[in-house]
Amino acid sequence: MNAPDKIPFADQFALSREPFPASRKIYVPGSNESIRVPMREIALSNGELITVYDTSGPYSDPTAAIDVRTGLADVRGAWIAARGDTESYNGRQRAALDDGVKNEAQNNGTTIERIEALRAEAAGLQRTPRRAKSGMNVSQMHYARKGIVTPEMEYVALRENGKREWMREYLGDPAREARLRGNPMGARIPDVFTPEFVRDEVARGRAIIPANINHPEVEPMAIGRNFGVKINANIGNSAVTSSIEEEVDKLVWAIRWGADNVMDLSTGKNIHTTRDWIVRNSPVPIGTVPIYQALEKVGGVAEDLTWAIYRDTLIEQAEQGVDYFTIHAGVRLAYIHLTAQRRTGIVSRGGSILAKWCITHHKENFIYTHFEEICEIMKAYDVSFSLGDGLRPGSGADANDEAQFAELKTLGELTQVAWKHDVQTMIEGPGHVPMHLIQANMDEQLKHCHEAPFYTLGPLTIDIAPGYDHIASAVGAAMIGWMGTSMLCYVTPKEHLGLPDRDDVKQGIIAYKIAAHAADIAKGHPGARARDDAMSKARFEFRWRDQFALGLDPQTAEDYHDETLPKDSSKEAHFCSMCGPKFCSMKITQDVRDYAAAKGVSEQQALNDGMAQKSAEFKAVGGEFYVPVSSFAGPPQERQHPLGGPGEARVGGPDSSLTTKG
């Protein structure tokens, strides 16, 4: 562990707060001034203003004053208060055990000192928790089912729409539109997202808005198959390395590059304090796996876990403002032996912890048996379920096996239990799945989980790419995203090898933005394609700076360009280093346009007529079609053709040359 020195935040966040090139933060107003939906506006050199979805929060707004020691400004506080169904209360007493310290005796002074120092740094982040008043249910799903359109729902609608007026210019002709409308694969994505549409999707359980009432800093977003595909980035310290300072930096870094959600998978010491830092400074929903902390509380001995300790941990984290919990309720005693013949057994941490507990006690999973009690906690804070796939495959060889699908069916049953309590729910999925088995995962999930949002890790399509698993899994992620998965959990280049550093996090996120965007385009999300068209237009017009600004990673694109053509003038050059000035196909295309504009169709007609006539002539004499050799074909002897007569070249069989598409 590092020493608890004061951190030079200014330095740490300098880079992460810098706006993207040619971009500024704008806020689209809702039905009242408390609703201000952030977006990123890109000003192109041709005067176009392109607006894109923005996950980066206030960090990319130069006018926002941010002190990570006191946390972000409140977004939802007034909305929560206005509903009048919550109360603030003295939360549970914070214990040393919350940060992994069993008792003084167990730990040397340094550890205690370190923990106290870190807690001191988190002092400004403490809040008095709120919970539902007795008998109340404060979940977005509960409001939705009562027909209430919350500010969160309106916010989500505006955010999914974006400012799409600018897109009209890119709609193109009807034929292109039809071709590019996409294949939604069963999704029903509207042209315009209305607050009522969002309410209906949440009411049906087809979408969730992860938003704990104790996380008022969150900028509401939706996870559902009829919305844009979202991505999640995992951060967290670990028993072996990392520090709290890195975690907050990773959070800001992750949302800068496009993480829609972040999961804090911290283990080891200082878990509670780390979470204070992350939640209070996060504009995106934060998810956790509470069993990790519960295990720390029992010194890492899985069989010592109890419902009491687990339950207390859920309340502890709900009070801090965690937006969704990964709950491994589907790891049932009855399924564990199904993993015995697997190539890689159980690879989910939570799954293996619970399997160990079940087989040690020969008892059913206590999370399963106490599931409805957990629902009571979730609806008192509006924490969403992320039903964990503890038995997911850890290799292509184990994909879609009996253990995996047995658990999936149970998750479907539990989804209905959660919905009975109006608790928002999504379902976690694999993992490692060869391409030909991906569709079955989606089909089974939709069938058994009643369209509850699917949230998959990858899947990785092969096992032999350590160091490049962000790519091996981006392939599977793009496909399953198209097929209906609502959120993709990223994989970094360090998967299977080590802990991701800052750049690994970025690499993983970019790979997953690519996968999610490819899925949105294939599904036909109405807001997806125009950014690509704007990029293509910028390419065709050699507006290099606009190309960089429209890319997922402007700086890297510009750096790569400059490696070959560093001269600033080349930014306006009407050619690129790939082809050089003479070979530029885009330049030549302009000539084609002039040509087509001038005489395209008539030319075409003349050509067809000529061909038809010639064809008739020669068919009459030999049933084969001849094209006179052009006069530019070089000296006579080179025109001799072994098969055709002198000066003639036979092309194809009878009529084949008549095939024209003019």
**Measured CA distances, 544 to 44, 536, 589 (Å):** 10, 11, 18
User: In this structure, what token pair is assigned to residue 642?
Assistant: 């072994």
Given 175, 191, 568, 620, the residue binding a second copy (CB under 8 A): 175
Alpha carbons within 13 angstroms on the beta-carbon side of residue 263 total 22
Is position 164 an interface residue for a second copy (rule: CB under 8 A)?
no
615 near a second copy, judged by CB under 8 A: no
Nearest to 239 by CA among 211, 203, 268, 280: 268
- Ligand-binding site membership of 449 (annotated): no
Cα→Cα distances 584→308, 401, 535, 539, 578, Å: 70, 52, 18, 12, 9
Residue from 14, 49, 64, 397 in contact with a second copy (CB under 8 A): 397
- Interface residue with a second copy among 107, 315, 463, 545 (CB under 8 A) is 463
Q: Is 661 in the site for a second copy (CB under 8 A)?
A: yes
Considering only residues 358 to 387 of the shown chain, the ones binding a second copy according to CB under 8 A are 359, 361-364, 366, 368-373, 376
Tell me whether residue 584 is annotated as binding: yes
Per-residue interface string for the shown chain with a second copy, residues 343-362, x marking contact by CB under 8 A: xxxxxxx-xxx-xx--x-xx
Listed ranges 120-128, 138-146, 220-228, 395-403: which one lies at the site for a second copy (CB under 8 A): 395-403
Q: What is the 3-state secondary structure (H, E, C) of 3-71?
A: CCCCCCHHHHHHHHHCCCCCEEEEEEECCCCCCEEEEEEEECCCCCEEEEECCCHHHHCCCCCCCCCCC
Upper half-sphere CA count for residue 195 (Cβ side, 13 Å): 15
User: Is 641 labelled as part of a ligand binding site?
Assistant: no
Angle at the Cα of 384 from the Cα atoms of 95 and 289, rounded to 5 degrees? 50
Strand, coil or helix: what is 644?
Answer: coil
- If one asks whether residue 176 binds a second copy (CB under 8 A), the answer comes out as yes
Binding mask 280-299 for a second copy (x = CB under 8 A): ------------x--x----
- Is 183 flagged in the annotation as binding? no
Residue 455 and residue 411 in contact, taking contact as beta carbons nearer than 8 Å: no
The rounded distance, in Å, linking the Cα atoms of 515 and 470 is 10
Residue of the chain from 435, 571, 614, 619 that contacts a second copy (CB under 8 A): 435
List the interface residues with a second copy, window 37-76 (CB under 8 A).
none
Residue 579 annotated as binding site: yes
- Residue 390 annotated as binding site: yes
**Residue closer to a second copy, measured from CB, 325 or 482:** 482
Question: For a second copy, which residue of 40, 275, 280, 529 counts as binding (CB under 8 A)?
Answer: 529
CB of 251 to a second copy, least distance (A): 19
Hey, is 482 helix, strand or coil? helix
In this complex, which beta carbon is closest to a second copy, that of residue 208 or of residue 289?
289
Q: Closer CB to a second copy, residue 281 or residue 339?
A: 339
- Of 493, 505, 527, 624, the one binding a second copy (CB under 8 A) is 493
CA–CA dist 506, 493 (Å, integer): 10
Binding annotation for [4Fe-4S] cluster: 576, 579, 584
Binding annotation for Zn(2+): 432, 496
Binding annotation for substrate: 234, 263, 292, 328, 348-350, 389-392, 428, 455
